[in-house]
Amino acid sequence: MPFEIPDNLHPDCGPVAWMLGTWQGNGHGDYPTIDKYEFGQELIFTHDGRPFFHYFSRSWIIDEHGEKVREGALETGFLRCKPEGKMELLLTHQTGFVEIYYGTAAGGKLDLTTDAVARTETAKEYTAGKRLYGNVEGDLLYAYDMAAVGQGLQPHLWARLKRA
């Protein structure tokens, strides 16, 4: 069944309307300070008619057979939609940091870069991020670049998720 845009969707949310709903799939993680790994993930984007989406993501580490090994990252926040495809993303993570991203959305693509990162005294050092989401053949593909633990901004996570 094709995705239908809700009647009460705020007009500023139009460029990211395709993201609404629940997405599930697998992805890959890599970074110079860790071993490569694979993960399962669920992303949920909801709305209530105002110009923002609530966002929730949970992930779990999987083995070479796709079986769950342990819990992974959790993040939640708000994708605030502004006129002319301008976007703001506010995220909170269980690992002790919060982020503010700014970016744009158009043509099935959402491109965001951090403006600010704050972390608790027990969180690992993390200084910047870049997120790219795209609607590719009806799937949600994303890439996340990260600057952390003395490393410059570089690829960290990427996944292909299907609408649940």
The pTM is what? 0.95
CB 24 within 8 A of CB 161: yes
Q: Which two tokens stand for residue 83?
A: 């006129």
d(CA 1, CA 40): 24
pLDDT score at 5:
82
pLDDT score at 84:
97
* SS3 of residue 13 by DSSP: helix
pLDDT score at 1:
53
C-alpha triplet 93, 80, 82: angle, nearest 5°: 155
CB 12 within 8 A of CB 51: yes
pLDDT score at 6:
84
Note down pLDDT in tens along the chain; length 164 residues: 567 888 899 999 999 999 999 999 999 999 999 999 999 999 999 999 999 999 999 999 999 999 999 999 999 999 999 999 999 999 999 999 999 999 999 999 999 999 999 999 999 999 999 999 999 999 999 999 999 999 999 999 999 999 99
